[in-house]
Amino acid sequence: MTVFAQDWTTPFGLPPFDQIRDEDFGPAFDSALAEARANIAAIADSAEPPTFANVIEALELAEGALDRVAGVFYNLSGADSNDAREALMRDLAPKMSAFSSEVSNNKALFAKIEALWQQRETLGLSDEQLRVLTLYRQMFVRSGALLEGAEAERLTAVKSRLAVLGTQFSQNLLADERAWSMPLAESDLEGLPDFVVASARAAGEERGAGGPVVTLNRSLIVPFLQFSPRRSLRQRAYEAWVARGANGDAHDNRAIAAEILALRHERAQLLGYPSFADYKLEPEMAKTPAAVRDLLMRVWTPARAKAEADGGVLEAMLHADGITGPLEPWDWRYYSEKRRRAEHDLDEAALKPYLSLDAMLAAQFDCANRLFGLEFREIDGPFYHPDVRGWEVTRGGSHIAVFLGDYFARGSKRSGAWCSAMRSQRKLGGDVRPIVVNVCNFAKGDPALLSYDDARTLFHEFGHALHQMLSDVTYGFISGTSVARDFVELPSQLYEHWLEVPAVLEQHARHWQTREAMPADLLRRLLAAGTYDQGFATVEFVASALVDLEFHQGTPPADPMQKQAEILEALGMPRAIRMRHATPHFAHVFSGDGYSSGYYSYMWSEVMDADAFAAFEEAGDPFDPATSARLEKFILSAGGSRDAEQLYLQFRGRMPGVEALLRGRGLLDAA
């Protein structure tokens, strides 16, 4: 009997991480899949007339054991992978896809769902139950429940192959990130701030390199590109960073990306859609590829103009240093940082001592307390890695959630930052409270000092966590972040705004040694520079989003790299800026279907988050109780219980225009 088959007597029902062994997962998945299959067969084969309770509610609980083991395994696979877990990931990908296809292809089961759907007006369902029934039917139809014979079999094969390819893409990317490092001699450290030197030494120690190194972790390589005066080293590091997944070896992702795009197109056509973008966007707020392109192009034009103007200034600085030729991508961050220091008198090295991880954690918790009355008490593990910290979340003395934070980069963790739930909130079958995990890749230090962008990432992921923790629905199917993809980033991006509230930084941005508050002048300059270099940031994002959209419209490209180049050329991409995520390492799009045709969603949500924070500003208080109560009621606690546009209209009374986004990015004058 594995630990997953036992009752967990741990505090809050946390997984007993100190008892879980890698060899437990395989048998646990086999047992859980068998149990889920039996439960679903019992629902489908029952002679009882279908009811909401014996079909939909039964389905909600049918995969409880599977949810339990998967909630632990997939979190560990992303945040603390090893050879055994990666091997099991490869083994599980087709198995889990096959199980999903079995369920969606179960004709008897779908017949019961369809019968309920046809009778929905006479069943006496609550609004939430009707929404759940609607989404279940939609999920089955979009998964191929209406297909028969060869078409159904082919769709199953396509989905299985896509699952395998997505896993392979992720593991190739992780392998490239693990494998590369650039040793630094002591002389190469000249000109680097102390925090970059400390991070490079810590990375070298973690890798057993015998000295400082630069790795492909964003929290190390970006500051190196910002501060290193050695152009040849910047070039070498930058080219390795953008070459992830495209090194012509066993971990090359280019052919995988091409196959994924072809299979997605085939999947969409089997389901009756002209393209994968049409299929994917149908249930989202945007609805159509044309609506997405319209938004992105309305932002692209002013952003490109701003970036081109900024690039001219930076190129002049390059030439003033005696370097001939054009500004290159490995030059932009270096000269932009010099320009920021000159124009805003803002030096990141002087800023970071006031942005320790502990200080910013206190800030994010304090804001959650002032907005929603949440309290955070740190708890002891054991957790799944020594770096992980945990907190019990309460309100008015009642348990709300467990929150885990895993903040430091390491070789076993995939790059980026994300929020996930080991256990999601629901009321069906008992009051189940969530276990929510934030994962980041900050450079480890003693103490860990964050850049302002790092602090923004911390707040962003905690916004997702609040969406999970404050969820208050009956059915797990619509819990927390189970919302439209272009709505899911609203809570996370909205929460970033509280980092910009002067009173928050005045209270929490304190020097890690002296405990003195950030000087008022430094705080003023930090906030004044809030839109600095937004031409660059917006161009690199929108370029990625447009490439993603174009990839999934029309005939899939035989050579995605050639297609990527054609798209960027047509856009007039500035030569000194690259896509934020080039195709071979575009994990958002190719590691799974989550953000495929959906990378735009960050910007779609940003249109709303700028307008949503304006509601607090209009109330005259960033912690206005009435506005925060509406935010919780209509956005954070509602999950997917209503249509996303309806939820936003209930919160704000209207839908916003793109002007709020342009204003927030300092691009309105360039529009």
Which residues are part of the catalytic machinery? 461
Identity at 671, one-letter amino acid code:
A
Distance CA 440, CA 280 (A): 28
Q: Strand, coil or helix: what is 94? A: helix
Q: How far, in Å, are 353, 393, 426, 433, 581 from residue 400 at the CA level?
A: 33, 5, 12, 6, 36
Residue among 545, 527, 665 at smallest CA distance from 293: 545
Q: What is the 3-state secondary structure (H, E, C) of 499-528?
A: HHCHHHHHHHCECCCCCCECCHHHHHHHHH
Token pair of 646 as six digits = 């309806």
Beta-strand relationship, 398-408 and 418-423:
unpaired
Alpha-carbon gap, residue 671 to 665, rounded angstroms: 11
* 149-156, Cβ contacts within 8 angstroms, sequence gap of 24 or more: 151/270, 152/105, 154/266, 154/270, 155/101, 155/267, 155/270, 155/271, 156/98, 156/101, 156/105
Sign of CA dihedral 437, 443, 444, 448: negative
Element (H, E) at 196: helix 194-206
DSSP states along 276-318: HHHHHHTTSSS-SHHHHHHHHHHHHHHHHHHHHHHHHHHHHHH
Distance CA 269, CA 520 (A): 59
**What is the DSSP annotation of 329-392?**
HHHHHHHHHHHHHHHH---HHHHGGG-BHHHHHHHHHHHHHHHH--EEEEE----SSTT-EEEE
Please tell me whether the peptide bond between 50 and the residue prior to it is cis, using omega within 30 degrees of 0.
no
Name the residue among 96, 106, 94, 165 with its Cα closest to residue 139: 106
| Distance in angstroms (rounded) separating the CA atoms of residues 640 and 625 | 24
Count other C-beta atoms under 10 Å from residue 19's C-beta: 13
Q: Which residues pair with 377 in a beta bridge?
A: 392
Helix, coil or strand: residue 57: helix
As a whole number of angstroms, the distance between CA 487 and CA 641 comes to 13
Q: Which residue has the tokens 């961050």?
A: 333
Q: Which amino acid is at 79?
A: A
Q: Name the β-bridge partners of 213.
A: 183
d(CA 383, CA 5): 19
DSSP 3-state assignment of 156? helix
CB 474 within 8 A of CB 482: no
Residue 99 · residue 109 · CB < 8 Å: no
Rounded to whole angstroms, the Cα distance separating 594 from 589 reads 7
116 closest CA partner among 45, 57, 61: 57
Give residues with Cβ within 8 angstroms of 534, minimum separation 6: 303, 306, 665, 666, 667
